[in-house]
Amino acid sequence: MSKSALITGVTGQDGSYLAELLLAKGYTVHGLVRRSSSFNTERIDHIYQGPQEANRSLVLHHADLSDGVALVNLLRDLQPDEVYNLGAQSHVRVSFDAPLYTGDVTGLGALRLLEAVRASGISTRVYQASSSEMFGAAPPPQNESTPFHPRSPYGCAKVFGYWSTVNYREAYGMFAVNGILFNHESPRRGETFVTRKITRAVARIQAGLQDRLYLGNLDAVRDWGYAPEYVDAMWRMLQRDEPDDYVVATGEPATVRQFVETAFAHAGLEWAEYVRYDPKYERPSEVDALIGDASKAHDLLGWKASVKVEELARIMVDADIQHVSDQLAGATVRIDR
């Protein structure tokens, strides 16, 4: 019998890569999709299987992390072997504008899912997408023992999700794990996160479609990895004999300024000619430096990042240049751009 998994956030960056990974392993993948007035499945269109297809291995279901009853019904009906909770309002800056909504979906949503697993009486392994944003102001390097000091409503909501996951493990013996993932990016990264904002601007500037890139704090330090490698770490956590929590990171720091320099240089552009400061992109409280220590994931999961920040920037710039070129040629844009 092949395994089955439910992914919340299947339409997001990580959800799309995880769905590909699990399908390649022979899983039946169920994806939770929230209702939108426009199509929101672009990242998974290339693996989409229509309702009329026989023996589907990817099945999409409408539900929402704010609707606990829908989650119970879905879990009771599907009884998946594994649940990956990747759904979230995941933008840190936006979480200052919509703090209650972020708390509801990103924080309480995790608890609703755990409680739905318990209420439906099924035996399933649960992955919670925890985040390095929980460390916030705690000085680097950060590992599984570093105390949390979140600096945004998003970070606070993720801390709630983290401890809810630990609590359901301790209280009910649930196989529930936290992956504490540091920033990870790809050509499928949302266009308003800083890496993709930069690489998309590089491609558009090179094509003559844009002449300025407005950014906020260039001094922030992040530990940027490659998303397809990070979803593999998620899967590995759920294959262990015992549930536990793991940091997933490259261990290599870079400033936003360094990412800008690498991305522009790769396209043969001088960044200082195009980049301008706009305080609009500053946060009320910033996370200055996140650098992960993923020794535990390396030792126990056999996981290690191979793509580091400079290669990541080049992968993303190349993909965005191809994307712009396809758009200008009127071609259908491929998802693996």
| 93 sits near ligand F7E (criterion: CB under 6 A) | yes
What gap in Å lies between CA 323 and CA 209, rounded to an integer? 13
Task: Identify what 164 binds: ligand NAP, ligand F7E, none; CB under 5 to 8 Å per kind.
Answer: none
Would you give the binding string for ligand F7E spanning residues 235-274, x where CB under 6 A is met?
---------------------x------------------
4 an active-site residue? Answer: no
What residues contact residue 272 under an 8 Å CB cut-off, 6+ apart?
Answer: none
123 an active-site residue? Answer: no
| 202 sits near ligand F7E (criterion: CB under 6 A) | no
Task: Please state whether 79 falls in left (phi above 0), alpha (psi between -120 and 50) or beta.
Answer: left
Q: How far is the CB of 97 from ligand F7E (least distance, A)?
A: 13
131 an active-site residue? Answer: yes
Considering beta carbons, is residue 68 or 216 the nearer one to ligand NAP? 68
Q: How far is the CB of 197 from ligand F7E (least distance, A)?
A: 5
Q: How far is the CB of 2 from ligand F7E (least distance, A)?
A: 31
255, 220 Cβ separation under 8 angstroms: yes
The DSSP element (H or E) to which 154 belongs, if any, is helix 153-172
Other CB atoms within a 10 A radius of the CB of residue 26 amount to 9
157, 106 Cβ separation under 8 angstroms: yes
CA atoms within 13 A on the CB side of 319: 21
Binding positions for ligand NAP, rule: CB under 6 A: 8-9, 11-15, 32, 34, 36, 40, 64-66, 86-90, 105, 129, 131, 181, 183-184, 190
Q: Residue 69 has which token pair?
A: 């009853």
Report the DSSP pairing between strands 246-248 and 4-8.
unpaired
27, 2 Cβ separation under 8 angstroms: yes
Q: Which one of the spans 120-128, 129-137, 232-240, 298-306 is the region binding ligand F7E (CB under 6 A)?
A: 129-137
Q: Which of 34, 61, 240, 283 binds ligand F7E (CB under 6 A)?
A: 283
Q: What's CA 87's distance to the chain center, in Å?
A: 9
Site for ligand F7E, rule CB under 6 A = 90, 92-93, 131-133, 182-183, 192-194, 197, 215-217, 220, 222, 256, 281, 283, 286
Residues with catalytic roles:
131, 133, 154
